[in-house]
Each structure stands twice: as C-alpha cells, then as structure tokens.
Chain A
Amino acid sequence: MTLSPAVRVQELRKSYGHFTAVDGVSFEIERGETFALLGPNGAGKSTTVEILEGYRERSGGEVEVLGADPRHATLEWKARIGIVLQQTGESGNVTVREQLTHFAALYPNPRPVDEVLSAVGLDDKAKTRIKALSGGQRRRVDVALGVIGRPELLFLDEPTTGFDPEARRQFWELIRSLSREGTTIVLTTHYLDEAAQLSDRAAVIAGGRLIDIGPVGELGTADARVPIVRWRDSGGPRQERTTEPGRFVADLVAREGEVAELEVIRPSLEDIYLGLVEAAETAAGETRGPAGKPDDPIDAISTKGARS
C-alpha cells in the first residue's frame, strides 16, 4: 500500500478582502519528510500553514492533510496533528508541568511528560507558572505542547523566535529526533540556516507566490549559481558572471597583466535565496514596503536570545 502524501496543496489561494496573501501555491509533502516554508515576513507562510491546520478558510484551491480536508477536521484527525502557532499568549496561571499533563490527557497516545520536559530543556522550570517564564522559555512550552500528543504530522510556525543559540541547537536536535521517529514536519522560518539545517526540502515563498521548491542546497536557478569574477581597472570596479572563472581570470591576466582587487565569488546559499526573494518581489511590483531581508541569524540570536 502506498500512503498518500502527508500534505497536498494545489493552487491554494487566500484573499483578505481585496488583498491576496497566498496566490496559486502548490506543493506536496511526503510522509516522514521535514519540509520548510521559507520566506520573508509577510510572504504568506502563516496563512498557508494555518489553512493546513484548519484555522483559516481558503479562498480557492485544494488542500489535503493526512488524507482529509482540514475544513472538515474531526477529533481523530486533530489527534494526529501537532501545532505550534506563531503567536500564543495565554494568561499562564498554570505551571509548565500542569499544562503539559493536562494537554497530554487530551491525546490518545501521548508522550510521557517528563520525556517532553527534558526534550525541550525545561526540566528545571517544571514547577514554574508559565506567566513567569521568559519569552524563549514560553516558546519552548509551545513546542512541548505541540509534540506532547505524539503527532504524525507536526506544524511549527517560526518556532525558534526568541531562542538563544543553545536553545536553537537543542531545538534542532529535537526536530531531528522527531524526524527519525517518522514524524512529518512542516516548519516555517525566515532563517535560511534553519531551513538548511533541518529540512529535506524547502519551498521559498514571497509575496504569496511559490518561487522555488527543492532541497535547500539546490534552490535557485542555474544562473543564480554562476560564479562572479570581480576586479578593478582604470574605469572602476568591474564584474563578470562566468561558468569558467579559471579560464576567464587566466585570459584577463594574459590580456591586462596583474589586475587590482581580483576575486572570484561563488554565490552563497544566502545570496541565492536573497536573489530569489528580491527578484520575485520586484517582479510582483512590490508596494508593501521592504519585505525585510532575513535577519542575519547570528545577529538575531545575540540580540533576541539574551533573556532566555
């Protein structure tokens, strides 16, 4: 028996009034796969994921999640799915352990609370009320609640916001171990390195459109990977894209002798990704303001993660 894909999305469209937030997106996610939805803020990641989770109505297209249409979610279906929303903010008058124990009881075959507590690194906060936790610690509670029910399919919407570097690495380890157990994972992120670290495949979306899909290392067109040769001559800085940088440089040097500031640049994954997003946004005649280059992950960690 071949299982249907965990997620199948065809020509998904979503409008908020006149504004089209998701525009003709199609992809499939295989069972057991870890799949990243990668894109800048406002790209339509949360909208897409929350349609898959059954939280939002779609305006068009077909969606199937674990063989069912999320519009008609049953309790059985919900029991097979784990959800970590981008934003949560309960009053938090229960302790971490009380909350996990209570949510575990909602599922037919939950993971042991202690196992989950240590997997998210909150053993020593088990008796703390959730409202007394730092932002990063609360986020770990969200993740813990997402996995407590032993889901077949886990959705994570920007799960590492507010994590310090250690928490992020610990989280990556948790995701890998869930993946080893066979959990299908759908993760949204604007961190390229997170997608590269975790996902088998990523879909890049910008301005509500899917602009590329594939293993993170293979994103971008062949053109985008073409190395760049840069140097300076009397007319100022020059650059040339070529698939044969060695020959190009040899010819250049043979012709003009030693040239100033010579360098050969192989576009990094980051360059390719930013190129993709920028190209998509210029093409769409972006008017929604700067779509935010993804923060440099290292900077983001050192500024945001200080508290947790």
Chain B
Amino acid sequence: MSAATSTAPAARPARFGLGRTLRLGAARVVYETRVYFRAGDTVFFTFLFPVVLLGIFSVAFQGMGNVGANPDGSGGISQASYYLPGMIAAGILLSGMQNLGVDIAMERGDGTLKRLAGTPLPVMSYFIGKMGQVLVTSVAQVIILMLLAKLAFGVELPSEPEKWLTFLWVYLLGIVTAAVLGIAISRLPRSGKSAAAVIIPPLLILQFISGVYLSFSLLPEWLQTVASVFPLKWIAQGMRAALLPDSFASAEAGGTWDLAGVAIVLGIWLVVGLVVCRLTFRWIRKDS
C-alpha cells in the first residue's frame, strides 16, 4: 500500500444524504439478489415451491374434471386455472415473508448484520436491498408460474385491463406487506440455526387455512374466521378476483370478491408491520 494514498483529511467531508442511501440501496439489491440465487435451499423452498405445487396439483387433480363444470362435464375452468391464483398468493407469502424472516434471522445469527453495523451502510439502504431482492425474485416467480400455467396447462389468462389492474395492486400491496412482515418476524428466532424451524411451520399452516392449497369454503366456519385475520387469505382472494372468471365470486365466503376488504386488511397489516420494524429492528442485540 503506498503512502501516497494516505488517510488524508482532505478526502472528507463526504456526503451522507438521501442520494447515497438510494445508491447504496441499489447496490444492495444487486448483491442481495446474487446471494439469494446462490443459496440452493432458499431457491427451492421459497422460489420453486409454488411452481412445483402448481405442476403437481394441475396434473393430479385434472382427472377430477374442470372446476365449476356443468353436470354434463362441460364448462368450468381447468384445475391449473383454479390453482394458479392460490399459488401466486403462496409465492407472495414465501418470497416476501418467509424469505426475509428466515434470511434476516440467519444474518443476525451468523454475524452478517454485526459486520454491516460496523460500516457506514444506512439501515434504509439495507432495507431497500431486501425489498428489491424480494421484488426481483417474486416477479420472476410470478412470471414462471404464469408461463407454466399458460404453456404447460393451457390456462387462459384474463384479457380485460380491469382484471390486470386488480392483479397489479393486489400483487404490489401483497408483496410489500409480506416483505415488511418478514422483516418484523425476523426478530422471533433466538438464533440463526432455529430460524427456519421457527418461521416456516406457522406460515405453512397459514397456507393451509387461507385457501391456497385447499378451497377456502371447505374449512369450518371458525377456521375461516381465524384465517380472515391474517393477510394470506386476502391476498389469495384478491388474486382470484383478478385471475378467475367473475362467476366464481359467488363461491367466495361472502358471495363477492370483497376487494375493499382485501385493501383494508392488507393495509392494516402493512402499517402494523412497518411500526413493528421501526420499533424492533436493530443491527445486533447489544452485548451479544
């Protein structure tokens, strides 16, 4: 190292404003996304899991005929069409909440966060990096799900712009809420090693009671009430509103798509998640 490049005070002052926060946030998105795709197990359990399930369900259940078919077997939609909204909703939960909940808990456990805490990286840039990674991977996941549905199972995607508008806002509100909740629950595991064991099972149960794998109307009423408290049921409902024919609205619990309910419940969870993050996120537990 040459003495010419010494610790010259003239090299400062550097600016530490918003521009830098955003620029470093963008650098984090690239870094985080790269790391995400190199960790084989998360790629499977959060990225490919819904894709695999869509494939299995579409093939396994098609023998039961179309969903919502006439008594003579005509009409209705294919099993793949029926399961697609649910798998997209599950993907949103996995890519946002499960991914970040486990990821950040592991980073806290293995010293990654402690190291970052010692650098001049703004916390906001770190969050931008996580959010960006979630968005990039989740959008890729949705595209793969739709391509699989369309190309392998001949699912007809909606052609009406209003349907796509519904899809867009439910998707964005859903993925942002899921990501924020993921950051919030990353505090729960007491160590990096227990992160997956603490976070994955409750979310798996949530997937079973929220109408993504099992039709919501099959659940007993009390379980429907419980599930309605949590966001996944509403993400799935919003996705059905966007991707299924309107005739299916009558099959919903309330007999309508209830998009206002989707917006309100997800909005409340988003705010709660943001407040919890603001109050509880620390780079490290001091004294550990």
List residues of A (69-96) whose CB comes within 8 Å of B's CBs: 74-76, 78-79, 81, 83, 85, 87-91, 93-94
Contact of B110 among A78, A85, A89, A107 (CB under 8 A): A89
A159 → chain B, closest Cβ, in Å?
15
Judge whether A90 and B31 touch: CB under 8 Å.
Answer: no
Closest A residue to B115 by beta carbon equals: A88
Across chains A and B, the number of contacting residue pairs, with CB separation under 8 Å, is 102
Judge whether B27 and A102 touch: CB under 8 Å.
Answer: yes
Judge whether A93 and B35 touch: CB under 8 Å.
Answer: yes
Judge whether A78 and B106 touch: CB under 8 Å.
Answer: no
- Asked whether any CB of chain B lies closer than 8 Å to the CB of A295, the reply is no
Judge whether B110 and A91 touch: CB under 8 Å.
Answer: yes
Judge whether A81 and B7 touch: CB under 8 Å.
Answer: no
Given A75-B16, A102-B27, A149–B38 Cβ distance below 8 Å? Answer: no
A163 → chain B, closest Cβ, in Å?
19
Judge whether B3 and A107 touch: CB under 8 Å.
Answer: no
Judge whether A94 and B35 touch: CB under 8 Å.
Answer: yes
- Asked whether any CB of chain B lies closer than 8 Å to the CB of A177, the reply is yes
Judge whether B120 and A75 touch: CB under 8 Å.
Answer: yes
Query: Inside 8 A of A85's CB, which chain B residues have their CB?
Result: 111, 114-115, 118
Bound CA–CA A97/B14 (angstroms): 24
Judge whether A183 and B24 touch: CB under 8 Å.
Answer: no
Given A89-B110, A90-B112, A111–B1 Cβ distance below 8 Å? Answer: yes
Judge whether A56 and B286 touch: CB under 8 Å.
Answer: yes
Query: Inside 8 A of B7's CB, which chain A residues have their CB?
Result: 150-152, 181-183
Query: Inside 8 A of A181's CB, which chain B residues have their CB?
Result: 1, 3, 5-7
Closest B residue to A14 by beta carbon equals: B287
Judge whether A57 and B286 touch: CB under 8 Å.
Answer: yes
Query: Inside 8 A of B107's CB, which chain A residues have their CB?
Result: 90
Closest B residue to A90 by beta carbon equals: B112
- Asked whether any CB of chain B lies closer than 8 Å to the CB of A202, the reply is no
Query: Inside 8 A of A53's CB, which chain B residues have their CB?
Result: 118
B34 → chain A, closest Cβ, in Å?
7
Bound CA–CA A133/B10 (angstroms): 37
- Asked whether any CB of chain A lies closer than 8 Å to the CB of B60, the reply is no
Judge whether A75 and B122 touch: CB under 8 Å.
Answer: yes
A153 → chain B, closest Cβ, in Å?
9
Judge whether A76 and B6 touch: CB under 8 Å.
Answer: no
Query: Inside 8 A of A94's CB, which chain B residues have their CB?
Result: 31, 34-35, 38
Contact of B1 among A90, A105, A115 (CB under 8 A): A115
Interface of A is mostly: loop
How many interface residues does chain A have, given as a range? 35 or more
- Asked whether any CB of chain B lies closer than 8 Å to the CB of A300, the reply is no
Judge whether B118 and A83 touch: CB under 8 Å.
Answer: yes
Bound CA–CA A36/B39 (angstroms): 39
Query: Inside 8 A of B111's CB, which chain A residues have their CB?
Result: 85, 87-90
Judge whether A108 and B114 touch: CB under 8 Å.
Answer: no
Judge whether A93 and B16 touch: CB under 8 Å.
Answer: no
Query: Inside 8 A of B13's CB, which chain A residues have their CB?
Result: 76
A147 → chain B, closest Cβ, in Å?
8
Bound CA–CA A80/B240 (angstroms): 53
Judge whether A105 and B118 touch: CB under 8 Å.
Answer: no
List residues of A (97-128) whose CB comes within 8 Å of B's CBs: 98, 102-103, 105-109, 111, 115-116, 119
A34 → chain B, closest Cβ, in Å?
14
Query: Inside 8 A of A152's CB, which chain B residues have their CB?
Result: 7
Query: Inside 8 A of A248's CB, which chain B residues have their CB?
Result: none
Judge whether A149 and B119 touch: CB under 8 Å.
Answer: yes
Judge whether A105 and B35 touch: CB under 8 Å.
Answer: no
Judge whether A91 and B1 touch: CB under 8 Å.
Answer: no
Bound CA–CA A181/B7 (angstroms): 7
Query: Inside 8 A of B205's CB, which chain A residues have their CB?
Result: none
- Asked whether any CB of chain B lies closer than 8 Å to the CB of A63, the reply is no
Contact of B120 among A54, A76, A98, A115 (CB under 8 A): A76
Bound CA–CA A81/B117 (angstroms): 12
Given A90-B111, A91-B110, A106–B121 Cβ distance below 8 Å? Answer: yes
A143 → chain B, closest Cβ, in Å?
12
Query: Inside 8 A of B120's CB, which chain A residues have their CB?
Result: 75-76, 78-79, 106-108, 149
Bound CA–CA A90/B35 (angstroms): 12
Given A57-B286, A88-B115, A180–B24 Cβ distance below 8 Å? Answer: no
B160 → chain A, closest Cβ, in Å?
43
Given A89-B110, A111-B5, A57–B287 Cβ distance below 8 Å? Answer: yes
Judge whether A16 and B287 touch: CB under 8 Å.
Answer: yes
- Asked whether any CB of chain A lies closer than 8 Å to the CB of B284, the reply is yes
Judge whether A76 and B114 touch: CB under 8 Å.
Answer: no
- Asked whether any CB of chain A lies closer than 8 Å to the CB of B278, the reply is no
Judge whether A108 and B118 touch: CB under 8 Å.
Answer: no
- Asked whether any CB of chain B lies closer than 8 Å to the CB of A145, the reply is yes
Bound CA–CA A220/B11 (angstroms): 42
- Asked whether any CB of chain B lies closer than 8 Å to the CB of A55, the reply is yes
Given A79-B120, A107-B120, A55–B5 Cβ distance below 8 Å? Answer: no
Taking A105-B24, A106-B120 as known contacts, 8 extra A-B pairs with beta carbons closer than 8 A to each other, sorted by chain A number, are A75-B16, A75-B120, A76-B14, A76-B120, A78-B118, A91-B106, A109-B12, A181-B7
9 sampled A-B residue pairs with Cβ under 8 A: A16-B287, A55-B284, A89-B111, A90-B107, A107-B120, A111-B1, A116-B1, A149-B120, A180-B3
